[in-house]
Amino acid sequence: MALSRQIFDTVIVGGGGSGLRAALQLAEAGHHVAVFSKVFPTRSHTVAAQGGIGASLGNMQEDHWLWHMYDTIKGSDYLGDQDAIEFMCRKAAEVVYELEHFGMPFDRNPDGTIYQRPFGGHSQNFGERPVQRACAAADRTGHAMLHTLYQRNVRAHCQFFVEWMALDLIRDYEGVVVGIVALEMETGEVVIFQAKSTILATGGAGRIYHSSTNAFINTGDGLGMAARAGVPLEDMEFWQFHPTGVAGAGVLITEGVRGEGGILLNSEGERFMERYAPTMKDLASRDVVSRGIDQEIKEGRGVGPEKDHVLLKLDHLGAEVINKRLPGIREIALKFANVDPIREPIPVVPTCHYQMGGIPTNYYGQVVAPRGALGSSEVIPGLYAIGECACVSVHGANRLGTNSLLDLLVFGKSAGDHLCQWLKSNPQHRDLPHDAADRSMERLSRLDSAQSGENITEVAQAMRRTVQHHAGVFRTGPLLREGVEKIREVAQRARNTAIKDKSRVFNTARIEALELENLVIVAEATLVAAEARTESRGAQAREDFKDRDDKNWLKHSLWYLEGSRLDYKPVNLQPLTVESFEPKVRVY
Amino acid sequence: MKFSIYRYNPEKDDKPYMQDYEVELQHSDRMLLDAILRIKAMDDSLGLRKSCREGVCGSDGMNINGKNGLACITPLKDLKEPVILRPLPGLPVIRDLIVDMSQFFKQYHSIKPYLVNDNPPPQKERLQSPEDREELNGLYECVLCACCSTSCPSFWWNPDKFVGPAALLQAYRFIADTRDDATSERLDNLEDPYRLFRCHTIMNCADVCPKGLNPTEAIGKIKEQMVKRMV
């Protein structure tokens, strides 16, 4: 049966912050653009971001984009590419002001300017003291930003395909990406979308972990699509553990709590971060704070009957500050931890939160991959990736809080701008290859025909437990090696799943089976890359290799699905206009 | 724990029916969504929407023991058994607990849910006092879950003509924003026997809102502004 086909200038897979920002740029320029989303766009995971958007507006104290750049590079443990980091930090004020002009309900200072709060790892004058750089809308910044961007897209008459799941990229015989194959959830229909360019903006895959702040939809669909199409995944060993997920529930408690003055306490009531980070204390960067907490727990100073978490105390901020600046946190603490933070501390534990790695791109959002034996990176024509699914790399081995929302805005806009130019010089659609939909149809027909096989829920659980146990905050060689073996077994099982429900209309079992195929790809990339990297850097903490090893490991990993093979490429230490920040010992 | 859940698959069912389930809960199951996912693990054909599981994305609105709410922030301990789950009322059912929200979003789009200000923006941010910004509290936090609109009898009867509480709350969000210049057009857009005035202050909307917002109050303020501009 021939599939129906639709044609666009650009298709964007994902309707979160970066996808919407790119869509806006293209739609306002009059391009024929379609945004695909598994959920209504305002339900995308950007909605859950709480604390703020990093930008050196200097509304509270003196600030400078160069200081922001330094903090980001240091935060990345020198694995971030300095050209992209300069690009992002210089553009930050512009994209935040634009968002304000779009209607974003930022909190305000008495002089009417945007309110900014302190956040982890952000400092004045190259690490001297904390600075207020996070532009905030209470503790619902992501919600306010996502709705504002959606609203602006409504104004621009952008076309949305809501509750559609993209299945695979289409690459022609020269390797050019010429569109996607997508599934409409409501009808089960599969359609080919031919496009001059495709942007992947599918977010992270934090659901590979058992304990995660991520939404159910964060299943790494764009990463799976890219990997199946032969594109490598970069730096997948680096996963951020947010220091403060609600113990037991995993729900995020923003770093903004500590920005507003909240502190972490162990079972002895000690403010232990003073020992791990004498200057920045509770506002050190996230990898440092998460390791601090895990160390306290390992040494028996955890709280609770199982001594398995610590406490986040904020009652000393007073009811007024909590109700005004952190109302959503109070709501979450009451609902998920059964405590009122105006009176009691919140039980918290490091929880998987953010994927630093992803699809390799340059700062225009173009996907780049090594070509030939020379190892030089070349652009994959027609393919862009932005937001958490991309690895520019501005976050390196550890992302600073507030830089994720900034990343979405800067690189969403940058990709949109670049495409507006690119479409001028590439006005024609290329022909679709004859096998355009074959891979997707094979995946679907396997699920439709399998009468017996592995249960989706059980395989997903095995995957999450494996990643959680073998690639957690602290890692060791033997643990990782065992993890690689186990995850390969899980990947094998994921290829043999069966769903009982074969119906077409809104078949969520089928969607979950397809998502699981993407998740296990990400999980395998994570374990393989983590096992190979015999050093500690940022979020990768190896107990058997405790130090950073710049001589051997100041490089990005690239994992290929075919053969589960690793390759590497150098870190770009050369910024655009300023002098390079040479790697040095990281102290907070 | 015992559940009775509305089931309908248009491909095989002539009409909807209620299906009973009994599920053993684990210690970590705190919210209704946790229990539903245990049921879904046994019966993969059960259809529902879900995403953030913390009450900010608005996906899992449903009718829970007769009252609309979000499954992910409805504590299990507060629920009487058997827990009766139905799709949000008043919208066409696609399958099981999944409703067709087109009409709901059409009404949201009809109020022009974006800031209108045709003056060239300044180089930096537009200034707004903290007091003016506070006017947006209780408005901008809406998650578009549709719990309110689908609990409103006026919306059930005229979903195509009455804007409904959720979209009216957003209409007021822009009217209340000192940066927005289109108040007069926004009021014109709502001055109609149905669009705004079908609200009979039954207050179901405020009663069910999972985020504790009060659309009735916002609707009252829109009406006030209409009266004000007439005199």
Q: Scanning the structure block, which residue is given the tokens 């305002």?
A: A42
From B67, B99, B131, give the residue that closes a domain. B99
Residue A427, number of CB atoms within 10 A of its CB: 8
Q: What DSSP element (H or E) covers B18?
A: strand B17-22
pLDDT in tens, B60-106: 999 999 999 999 999 999 999 999 999 999 999 999 999 999 999 99
Cis peptide before B82 (omega within 30 of 0): yes
Q: How far is A435 from chain B (nearest CA, A)?
A: 30
- Strand pairing of A359-360 and A390-391? parallel
Phi and psi, residue A558, nearest 5° = -130, 120
Closest residue, chain A, to B118 (C-alpha): A101
Mean pLDDT, chain B, rounded, equals: 97
pLDDT recorded at residue A121: 95
pLDDT recorded at residue A374: 55
Q: CA-to-CA distance for A545 and A549, rounded, in angstroms?
A: 9
pLDDT recorded at residue A38: 98
Mean pLDDT of B21-41: 95
- Chain B positions touching A57 (Cβ under 8 A) are 124
Share of chain B above pLDDT 90, in %: 98
* Residue A371 pLDDT class (50, 70, 90 cuts): confident
Q: Give A194's strand partners.
A: A7, A179
Residue of B208, B90, B70 lying closest to B160 (CA atoms): B90
Closest residue, chain B, to A337 (C-alpha): B30
**B42 touching A (Cβ < 8 Å):** no
From residue A29, how far is each of A127, A419, A571 by CA, in Å? Answer: 41, 10, 34
From B99, B129, B164, give the residue that closes a domain. B99
User: Do B171 and B85 share a structural domain?
Assistant: no
- Provide the domain limits for residue B189: 102-230
**B126 touching A (Cβ < 8 Å):** yes
User: Do B91 and B25 share a structural domain?
Assistant: yes
pLDDT in tens, A72-93: 999 999 999 999 999 999 999 9
Q: What DSSP element (H or E) covers A36?
A: strand A33-37
Contact check, Cβ <8 Å, B140/A503: no
Structure-block tokens of residue A501: 């429900």
Residues in chain B: 231
Q: Give A5's strand partners.
A: A192
From residue B216, how far is each of A261, A323, B149, B172, B208 by CA, in Å? Answer: 36, 23, 11, 11, 12
Q: What DSSP element (H or E) covers A40?
A: none
Count Cβ atoms within 10 A of the Cβ of residue A295 and give its class: 0-12 exposed, 13-18 middle, 19 or more buried: middle
**A100 touching B (Cβ < 8 Å):** yes
User: Do B92 and B44 share a structural domain?
Assistant: yes
The yes-or-no verdict on residue B112 having pLDDT over 90 is yes
Q: How far is B111 from chain A (nearest CA, A)?
A: 11
Is B172 in contact with B98 (CB distance < 8 Å)? no
Structure-block tokens of residue A13: 């897979």
Closest residue, chain A, to B179 (C-alpha): A103
Which CATH number characterizes residue B164's domain? 1.10.1060.10
pLDDT in tens, A225-252: 999 999 999 999 999 999 999 999 999 9
pLDDT in tens, A388-428: 999 999 999 999 999 999 999 999 999 999 999 999 999 89
Q: What DSSP element (H or E) covers A227?
A: helix A221-228
The yes-or-no verdict on residue B230 having pLDDT over 90 is no
Q: Which residues contact A85 (CB under 8 A, 6 or more apart)?
A: A69, A72, A73, A76, A394, A575
Structure-block tokens of residue B127: 């200034």
Is A303 in contact with A310 (CB distance < 8 Å)? yes
User: Do B110 and B95 share a structural domain?
Assistant: no
User: Do B209 and B129 share a structural domain?
Assistant: yes
pLDDT recorded at residue A377: 78
Tell me the pTM: 0.97
Cis peptide before B89 (omega within 30 of 0): no
Q: How far is A370 from chain B (nearest CA, A)?
A: 36
**A500 touching B (Cβ < 8 Å):** yes
**B146 touching A (Cβ < 8 Å):** no
Contact check, Cβ <8 Å, B133/A47: no
Count Cβ atoms within 10 A of the Cβ of residue A203 and give its class: 0-12 exposed, 13-18 middle, 19 or more buried: buried
Residue of A403, A563, A470, A404 lying closest to A208 (CA atoms): A470
Residue of A580, A586, A588 lying closest to A85 (CA atoms): A580
Query: Which residue of B57, B121, B127 is in closest CB contact with A47?
Result: B57
Closest residue, chain B, to A186 (C-alpha): B94
Q: What DSSP element (H or E) covers A3?
A: none
Helix (H, G, I), strand (E, B) or coil at A253: coil
A 211-230 residues inside an 8 A Cβ radius of B: 215-217
User: Do B65 and B13 share a structural domain?
Assistant: yes
User: Do B122 and B219 share a structural domain?
Assistant: yes
From B99, B117, B138, give the residue that closes a domain. B99
Which CATH number characterizes residue B41's domain? 3.10.20.30
Query: What is the signed CA dihedral for A456, A558, A356, A399, rounded to 10 degrees?
Result: 160
Would you give the DSSP letter of residue A46? G
Structure-block tokens of residue B39: 């049921």
- Amino acid type, B190: L
The separation between the first and the last C-alpha atoms of chain B, rounded to the nearest angstrom, is 59
Residues of A recognised as catalytic? 286
Contact check, Cβ <8 Å, B45/A500: yes
User: Domain count of chain B?
Assistant: 2
Helix (H, G, I), strand (E, B) or coil at A391: strand
Query: Which residue of B59, B73, B96 is in closest CB contact with A43?
Result: B59
User: Do B71 and B158 share a structural domain?
Assistant: no
B 74-93 residues inside an 8 A Cβ radius of A: 75
Contact check, Cβ <8 Å, B180/A103: yes
pLDDT recorded at residue A372: 61
User: Nearest-5° angle of CA A575, CA A578, CA A583?
Assistant: 60
Q: CA-to-CA distance for A403 and B59, rounded, in angstroms?
A: 26
The yes-or-no verdict on residue A153 having pLDDT over 90 is yes
Residue of B29, B51, B96, B134 best to disrupt the A interface, most CBs of A under 10 A: B51
Give the CA radius of gyration of chain B.
Answer: 20
User: Nearest-5° angle of CA A538, CA A544, CA A545?
Assistant: 45
Share of chain A above pLDDT 70, in %: 99
**A331 touching B (Cβ < 8 Å):** yes
Residue of B50, B57, B59 best to disrupt the A interface, most CBs of A under 10 A: B57
B 94-123 residues inside an 8 A Cβ radius of A: 94-96, 98, 101, 105, 109, 112-115, 117, 121, 123
- DSSP for B54-117 reads SSSS---EEEETTEEEEGGGSBGGGPPSSEEEEPPTTS-EEETTEE--HHHHHHHHHT--S---
**B50 touching A (Cβ < 8 Å):** yes
Structure-block tokens of residue A457: 């829920």
Residue of A40, A94, A447 best to disrupt the B interface, most CBs of B under 10 A: A40
- Strand pairing of A116-124 and A53-54? unpaired
Q: How far is A477 from chain B (nearest CA, A)?
A: 32
Phi and psi, residue A560, nearest 5° = -110, 135
pLDDT recorded at residue A2: 81
**A323 touching B (Cβ < 8 Å):** no
Mean pLDDT of B98-120: 97
Residue of B7, B8, B12, B52 best to disrupt the A interface, most CBs of A under 10 A: B52
- DSSP for A124-155 reads ETTTTEEEEEEE-STT-HHHHHHHHHHHHHHH
The yes-or-no verdict on residue A375 having pLDDT over 80 is no
- Distance from CA of residue A228 to its chain's centroid? 20
Q: How far is B231 from chain A (nearest CA, A)?
A: 30
Task: Please report, for chain B, how many H helices and E strands are present, in that order.
Answer: 8, 7
User: Do B115 and B210 share a structural domain?
Assistant: yes
Would you give the DSSP letter of residue A540? B
User: Do B215 and B180 share a structural domain?
Assistant: yes
The yes-or-no verdict on residue A21 having pLDDT over 70 is yes
The yes-or-no verdict on residue A1 having pLDDT over 70 is no
Closest residue, chain A, to B139 (C-alpha): A105
**B9 touching A (Cβ < 8 Å):** yes
Largest CA-CA distance found in chain B, in angstroms, rounded: 63
Half-sphere exposure at residue A519, Cβ-oriented, CA atoms within 13 angstroms:
29
Helix (H, G, I), strand (E, B) or coil at A368: strand
User: Do B109 and B79 share a structural domain?
Assistant: no
pLDDT in tens, A265-278: 999 999 999 999 99
Largest CA-CA distance found in chain A, in angstroms, rounded: 68
| Alpha helix positions (H), A453-499 | 456-470, 477-494
Residues in chain A: 588
* Residue A566 pLDDT class (50, 70, 90 cuts): very high
Mean pLDDT, chain A, rounded, equals: 96
**B229 touching A (Cβ < 8 Å):** no
Positive or negative: CA dihedral A407, A408, A411, A417: negative
Contact check, Cβ <8 Å, A105/B115: no
The yes-or-no verdict on residue A373 having pLDDT over 60 is no
User: Do B146 and B90 share a structural domain?
Assistant: no
Share of chain A above pLDDT 90, in %: 98
- Amino acid type, B115: L
